Structure 1
């Protein structure tokens, strides 16, 4: 019975029976959880990696349908929203990407069925019909390569079942007025060939209520009454061919379509000066327009008007002027496994990924924005990895492999200035440029594992990577190729990332390990705002090294699972982004290698299955993390940030303070400050209880609670009211499910974030209108200009969800 209970636990870390959740959760003959943290199947209890594994059944129970939902289950994992084609930004143990630029890869890599992806929009495509999620914490360069200095999120989608399985699922969500349907058909085609098809379609009006009233005389139009009006379609096909016990071929192909209006759900969080947040004041050269007061707090109400499609240059605007993000993603993997001998296996994994997205950004609270931005982004990846792994009975074993990547990014950014605001010169807010980045990567890696005894293993390995990125820039506005003017059109990185591990397993219920690791993330080019003639927009690699020690155990006759790990990592060349204002009010997006950081802390998780209460499981996970920038002094100052507020670095002799006549400073001093999305305390706690209710039916109740302390949402000091800080919160999830005999049907009531807590993981400062109308920007001076202090805006996380869901399995559950 203990095995059945463990399968119902919201999260299982080292449970011997977590895999009992069904065919989707790989398991050994003993029932232990099997993970692939070292690119081969191993027991989670014995692998010397800090990994959280979540079963597909747990994801279904708590209606986890997006990768962005995983932080509810995995402490120290946070995902922040962002605009245009940047996509979600992932942070793990305080390490993540904070740059608002699609050209910057994530510091936490996404791996889907063996193919690694680094772009943020990829995180919106894979969380459907998933067999198991593995979150690997800490650098994973040896086996997963570049773009993993913070860790890896590995998704293993479900494989074909041995018997016919049909799943039909439909749900309705009351808060956002959403609908979701799923269909899965799986089973054998022949004795050696299995197939699986899964598809889901969902749409909603949106959780946030839009109460903005447009001032149409400024070129504004009314927004949707609900945001973000998401639409999603995902379809995946899988073929698994096993003609012999020595060879298998697994092919998967996924198509994902997403469309939403204002998917980042922008809101103003804090306004230091009454009425200023409106955006156009009584000094407007068009007509005197009254100030509109904005509540300036994160809640369910937003105030967003949209630009009129025909009132802007380089128009008309797409989507009838509605700020929209639309993406099409198609990707597939082909995995070939062959046993050369009983002791040597070779694996080939071929991957192809193609992303096409288009987006429009431009909104204010009542009057039309000064400008809108359209973005057309494309990314293509071809990857090939080959691995050879041994399993000799002798003490020495090895893993050897090679990796190749051929990639291409294309990003076209077009500015559209408001034609009604006649005071805006045509020389600004009128750019139309495109950047293309070509990527070639070659990599070799290997690991030797030597058993000093049956209980003690030493392992050492290294990964060598050579990567080249080339940039071209074209100016469509002037029909000029700017590539010959770029001072650095090509960058190259040559990296060695070693790893050493010692693992001690005195019993089957206890593992101790220690490891030293190095990793890195490739440099690239800033492409959110394409380069102008003569601009160097390149940035270098991000590097990490450090160690961790851990313990994994099963206690109290295996009814208590307890894991503990301590880590300490040092980072240099952090790729940090900031939005720096210009005197014209146009935000300049920059990515720089911004110094050094340190992240250290403790991960503790446990699960308890009390034998005295049949059907009950309890789980808790806590992360204490101290992540600080040890050296960070070149992040640009925000609008009107004075010297007293922290704008104290890098004076500009060409820009003088009108009050003192001295050069104004241009950058903040952030050394010693807390890293973005890095709360000192985070955790989850929950339980699951299942009981029979007669006639073969069962009733299950599952609860999970996400807990977080305060964290910054962007790197800055001196922000009015410390509004860059997201205060600590608790989010409560619950599920009540009635299951029919043989699991042929289910009816579930699901609540997510039941308290309706509105939080943000990404925020920014903005004072564009005040700059233009009331005296420009005097950042780095003694006092602020007449424009005053900026507002703080945020891209909010999802709000409360209340689902009712029906699931049918006419042939039973495999």
Structure 2
């Protein structure tokens, strides 16, 4: 297909920074968006995959600061996570496993510059000095392999340049946010180029804590020094690259990166909830406490029972939690938290990579050696209230090393790629609960699950595109994986000497020990037909077998064990069309996923485990991009999914078909942008919005687990000078000040409430950028 076709659409949409899924547009000031979705450079609209491509310039225009901000503009993709959103992960087409344990890997693989991020904590990172981001929907196991049953997010940073260039960008926004981003790039000497990029972000507290220690309704002494305001950010990051020419046909890129973030404890709030039990004591529903006229701790067969074993089956305050707490303003910015510190959580990452390519005329050789290290210390209040009860704590260290060798080439009728891949992941992890001296559960004690897990994964893979005719291509590929996992774990209990810090007594006698292997031989494959009758259309249909390795459960309080690999057969067909003389584009796809051993994460009272289930997902996506007149651009996208996990055991002996967590049935997004020339430059006004229907934050889908549907709108005004050196963006995020729920965890059985995080309130800001 001719990459110069549809120039009108390319120039209009890209120059106005309108994101396009699978877009193939070119602006006068921007390069063509090229993706590497099939381990080679291609225009996105030439790829028979549902792929969304964002250029760095587009992301700036859309006001995207974090990796997960991309979700609002990508139909079929939603947000999951924990720690109030401090750890956020991608859910593509309902494929999600929101296990918060550091030993868990997500079913949506995330790569940065070709390097896999094993830690789900590392998937939330600041976007700075980025060339492009690609979001690939559907299994990508053949070429990328690693746990990519749901899809893949590939971030490519800006590389060193021969010409000296750089920029400085400064943002000031609500809640005392100050963000500085800068980069400089250029030749150091003949055949050697370098690039240095830096990011700093400071944001003050959003949540106003009205906590007063030791007052009604709970007069117990709280955490020492607690009660601080929360929902802040202090992030610093730096990335350095050196690129060397190796002869006339070789290239070596050396890169290093470091980032550190310090935040408050997770920005949860609480909603009071009540467990409903059957006669045998099984929890069969969770409802809102305000809807229980009797004010029960727990409802069992219509009667109140004592949920916190204090001798009283009723709550001290109607609609309150077990200790009488009620949120001071519901979903507003006021909170009443005991365990609250503005510097509680710390996340640090660093990495080093060497990428070497050499062109042997008809064959290209590729090698990537990659090392990454992640560490985090996390603490948060399990009940999110003024009562000193249980503190959740987690401390994780992950070191990973990978090596990939790849060969690729082409003939008159064939394009092919083959390679081998090795990955080692070494995880040291502990998580526990610390009970205050007066807590009814674990009073004065800490209970920690301490785990060491090691993964060795070996892969061989290949894929071939064979031209059956000038317009018909057969794509076939396969990957074989040997995955060796081992885990050792213990559960230790000791005195809680400091509520804020983890202090494990390793000399204590374990209440549980575990030592086991979970070795597997896995395979994935792909076969697809692609039909291009002309330069303005691509049709594809195929079947994909994806696989995600099995692993281990290491829940709070013990109960270690393993679970099986996840296997998926994905059937998909789609089209990418351009019409109206290049002024319109349509991308559409339909899919059906048939799972065996779907890895479903179920959460019950401060502990979660993964079970293997059967599941079937069916859905469709459509995206339309229009440039009806000069200066006016319109984008619309929508998705539908019917995702069912079959016969999930929601309570002992109760089996229901459920919807996977954080998987809305409907999603839609839209953007309209109009620009006009001024004497001093160009001015553009942009309005965007996104909608998602109701979903659940818990696999059991109980009444109080529902996250209601919501709509979020953003607006901005952008000015650029005639020389393209200066730009100023004024923006308003969350124009309607929507307070919709984002992430939740049910702890009704412990405290009579659930943890909920809400969207950031309306935010105003201005960004000034100078390119040189």
Post-superposition shift, 1:198?
1.1
What are the superposed Cα offsets for residues 153-210 of structure 1, whole Å, 9 maximum, x if unpaired? 1101111233222211111112x22111111112222342221111111111133333
**Does 2:320 align with 1:325?**
no
**Does 2:210 align with 1:203?**
no
Post-superposition shift, 1:482?
6.4
CA contact (8 A) 2:270 2:383 kept: no
**Does 2:213 align with 1:219?**
no
Correspondent of 2:601 among 577, 595, 614: 577
With over 3 angstroms needed to count, the CA separation of the structure-2 counterparts of 1:165 and 1:596, relative to structure 1, is same
2:357 equivalent in structure 1: 337
What are the superposed Cα offsets for residues 31-73 of structure 1, whole Å, 9 maximum, x if unpaired? xx32111111112122111101111112112221111211111
2:675 equivalent in structure 1: 690
With over 3 angstroms needed to count, the CA separation of the structure-2 counterparts of 1:494 and 1:715, relative to structure 1, is same
**Does 2:529 align with 1:527?**
no
1:760 equivalent in structure 2: 741
Distance (whole Å) between structure 2 residues aligned to residue 134 and residue 361 of structure 1: 33
Q: Which has a greater percent of strand? A: 2
1:670 equivalent in structure 2: 656
Post-superposition shift, 1:674?
2.2
1:182 equivalent in structure 2: 181
Structure 1 stretch 95-104 or stretch 705-714: which is displaced more? 95-104
1:632 equivalent in structure 2: 647
What are the superposed Cα offsets for residues 587-636 of structure 1, whole Å, 9 maximum, x if unpaired? 3332222x1111111111121112xx32222111111111111x23334x
2:664 equivalent in structure 1: 679
Question: What secondary structure sits across from 1:60 in the alignment?
Answer: helix
Post-superposition shift, 1:366?
4.9
How many residues of Structure 1 are paired with residues of Structure 2 in the alignment?
717
Note the 1:439-450 alignment, pairs <5 A: 439-450=455-466
What are the superposed Cα offsets for residues 452-497 of structure 1, whole Å, 9 maximum, x if unpaired? 11211112111001111111124454626869953x6110111111
CA contact (8 A) 1:412 1:434 kept: yes
Question: What secondary structure sits across from 1:742 in the alignment?
Answer: coil
**Does 2:536 align with 1:509?**
yes
Distance (whole Å) between structure 2 residues aligned to residue 94 and residue 461 of structure 1: 25
Correspondent of 2:573 among 518, 543, 549: 549
Question: What secondary structure sits across from 2:21 in the alignment?
Answer: coil
Distance (whole Å) between structure 2 residues aligned to residue 264 and residue 632 of structure 1: 34
TM (norm. structure 1) is: 0.82
Distance (whole Å) between structure 2 residues aligned to residue 749 and residue 805 of structure 1: 6
Question: What secondary structure sits across from 1:156 in the alignment?
Answer: strand
**Does 2:626 align with 1:608?**
yes
With over 3 angstroms needed to count, the CA separation of the structure-2 counterparts of 1:85 and 1:727, relative to structure 1, is closer
**Does 2:434 align with 1:416?**
yes
**Does 2:253 align with 1:232?**
no
CA contact (8 A) 1:441 1:467 kept: yes
Distance (whole Å) between structure 2 residues aligned to residue 113 and residue 326 of structure 1: 24
CA contact (8 A) 1:402 1:443 kept: yes
Correspondent of 1:559 among 583, 591, 596: 583
CA contact (8 A) 1:714 1:764 kept: yes
**Does 2:473 align with 1:457?**
yes
Distance (whole Å) between structure 2 residues aligned to residue 808 and residue 276 of structure 1: 61
What are the superposed Cα offsets for residues 355-377 of structure 1, whole Å, 9 maximum, x if unpaired? 01111122545543322233210
**Does 2:418 align with 1:437?**
no
Distance (whole Å) between structure 2 residues aligned to residue 403 and residue 472 of structure 1: 26
Distance (whole Å) between structure 1 residues aligned to residue 24 and residue 750 of structure 2: 60
Distance (whole Å) between structure 2 residues aligned to residue 571 and residue 544 of structure 1: 5
With over 3 angstroms needed to count, the CA separation of the structure-2 counterparts of 1:797 and 1:350, relative to structure 1, is farther
CA contact (8 A) 1:546 1:568 kept: yes
1:799 equivalent in structure 2: 761
TM (norm. structure 2) is: 0.87
Distance (whole Å) between structure 1 residues aligned to residue 341 and residue 230 of structure 2: 15
Unaligned runs of 5+ in 2: 1-6, 273-287, 298-305, 318-322, 493-503
Q: How large is the RMSD of aligned CA atoms in angstroms?
A: 2.9
With over 3 angstroms needed to count, the CA separation of the structure-2 counterparts of 1:402 and 1:264, relative to structure 1, is farther
Structure 1 stretch 72-81 or stretch 203-212: which is displaced more? 203-212
Post-superposition shift, 1:251?
2.3
Post-superposition shift, 1:791?
3.2
With over 3 angstroms needed to count, the CA separation of the structure-2 counterparts of 1:482 and 1:140, relative to structure 1, is farther
Distance (whole Å) between structure 2 residues aligned to residue 416 and residue 725 of structure 1: 29
1:664 equivalent in structure 2: none
CA contact (8 A) 1:219 1:367 kept: no
With over 3 angstroms needed to count, the CA separation of the structure-2 counterparts of 1:281 and 1:451, relative to structure 1, is closer
